[in-house]
Chain A
């Protein structure tokens, strides 16, 4: 079946360092790849997304890259700050039954130490 694998499950960095989270997906029909940030006690919030016709997208300190041939995509956070500490989820999506079916990775717990 469809699945998304996400690595690493935990990531610890020093403030100012970069953090990279990687995901691979199995459904070649997937065409939309969002990244969500979940802070403690809150619901997931979209931080960046990329569509299959684009290889890279950047928003300030956050960037996402997509390799459709290899079916993997990555989240890059530069100049990390303590407020970046959270659980990050990747997802892959395609249209199914009239809606965008999201398949989530298992999540990465990022800790940024001052």
Chain B
């Protein structure tokens, strides 16, 4: 099992460019999450999904969109990147009724 994987590991964008971050999990988990991690602020939830075809807003959703077309994949999109979106992005997943969330290795995004 690879667990939770994220693509790409690093990316540099210019302001206004768009990109999609991919999260994949091979644990057949129903729930998936996208977080961002900023210095001194811990992890904050951007969007989450409780099943294929469903998504919902988290704590800091503005400027991001998500899609869950397949159960194993959760995509995070930035339509028009801004410097404030410079961060490290983590994906996580778990099963209903399971408290523990399993995290991917992260994507470091820099927006110039």
Give residues 82-112 of B contacting A (CB, 8 Å).
90, 92, 94, 96, 98-106
Contact B101 A43 (CB under 8 A): no
Decide: A101 near B45, CB < 8 A? Known: A34-B100, A43-B4, A49-B99: yes
Given A43-B103, A99-B50, A102-B101, 6 additional A-B pairs, CB 8 A: A9-B40, A43-B105, A46-B101, A51-B99, A99-B31, A102-B43
The residues of B that contact A32 with a CB separation of less than 8 Å are 99
Q: Does A106 contact B (CB under 8 A)?
A: yes
Q: Does B56 contact A (CB under 8 A)?
A: yes
Complex Cα–Cα for A49 and B92 (A): 17
Look across to chain B and name the residue whose beta carbon is closest to the beta carbon of A4.
B42
CB distance from B14 to the nearest CB of A (A): 25
CB distance from B20 to the nearest CB of A (A): 19
Complex Cα–Cα for A104 and B48 (A): 16
Give residues 16-75 of B contacting A (CB, 8 Å).
31, 40-45, 48, 50, 56
Q: Does A44 contact B (CB under 8 A)?
A: yes
Contact B105 A107 (CB under 8 A): no
Contact A43 B56 (CB under 8 A): no
Complex Cα–Cα for A51 and B100 (A): 11
- Chain A interface residue count, Cβ-Cβ cutoff 8 angstroms: 26
Complex Cα–Cα for A44 and B100 (A): 11
Look across to chain B and name the residue whose beta carbon is closest to the beta carbon of A51.
B99
Contact B99 A104 (CB under 8 A): no
Give residues 64-114 of A contacting B (CB, 8 Å).
89, 93, 97-102, 104-107
- 30 A-B residue pairs with CB within 8 Å: A4-B42, A6-B42, A9-B40, A32-B99, A36-B103, A41-B105, A41-B106, A42-B106, A43-B90, A43-B92, A43-B105, A43-B106, A44-B90, A46-B100, A46-B101, A46-B102, A89-B43, A98-B96, A99-B31, A99-B96, A100-B94, A100-B98, A100-B99, A100-B101, A101-B45, A102-B43, A102-B101, A106-B40, A106-B41, A107-B40
